[in-house]
């Protein structure tokens, strides 16, 4: 589980990615504001009924509009314990801020 505070007008800062290597599935839920989740090139508003689970090989990217967004990302791997990447550990530098500098 990860809560992300995303800045407004975020377009290319959040990289397109998939989890084919680690097998992680994800679900995104907006807690405040709104975002668009691009799934395999198709834009889907966050929180819509079509914004369900993202399979490991599905390419995804998050974009925000004119307002910031607080987004809850829930992820897990079938049949194995989740090992969070270093970037998500408490105190790790925010990769989005590093890309903007």
Neighbouring residues of 84: CB distance < 8 A, sequence distance ≥ 6 = none
Residue 25 CA: distances (Å) to CA of 16, 45, 73, 92, 97: 15, 18, 10, 22, 25
Q: What pLDDT does residue 49 have? A: 54
Q: Domain count for the chain, please give it.
A: 1
Residue 7 lies in a domain: yes
CATH assignment of the domain containing 71: 2.60.120.10
Q: Which domain holds residue 29?
A: 2-80
Residue 50 located in a structural domain? yes
List, for the chain, all residue ranges whose pLDDT scores fall below the cut of 70. 47-54, 82, 95-101
Q: What are phi and psi of 60, to 5 degrees?
A: -140, 150
Distance CA 82, CA 77 (A): 6
At residue 58, the pLDDT reads 82
Residue 68 confidence (pLDDT): 93
Instruction: Look at residue 27 and tell me if it is in a domain.
Output: yes
Structure confidence at residue 22 (pLDDT): 79
pLDDT at position 99 is 55
């Amino acid at each position: 589980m990860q809560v992300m505070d995303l800045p407004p007008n975020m377009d290319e800062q959040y990289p397109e990615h998939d989890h084919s290597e680690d097998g992680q599935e994800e679900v995104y839920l907006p807690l405040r504001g709104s975002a668009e989740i691009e799934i395999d090139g198709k834009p889907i508003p966050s929180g819509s009924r079509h914004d369900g689970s993202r399979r490991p090989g599905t390419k995804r990217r998050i974009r925000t509009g004119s307002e910031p967004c607080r987004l809850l990302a829930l992820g897990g791997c079938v049949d194995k314990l989740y090992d969070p990447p270093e970037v998500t550990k408490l105190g790790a530098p925010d990769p989005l801020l590093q890309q903007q500098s």
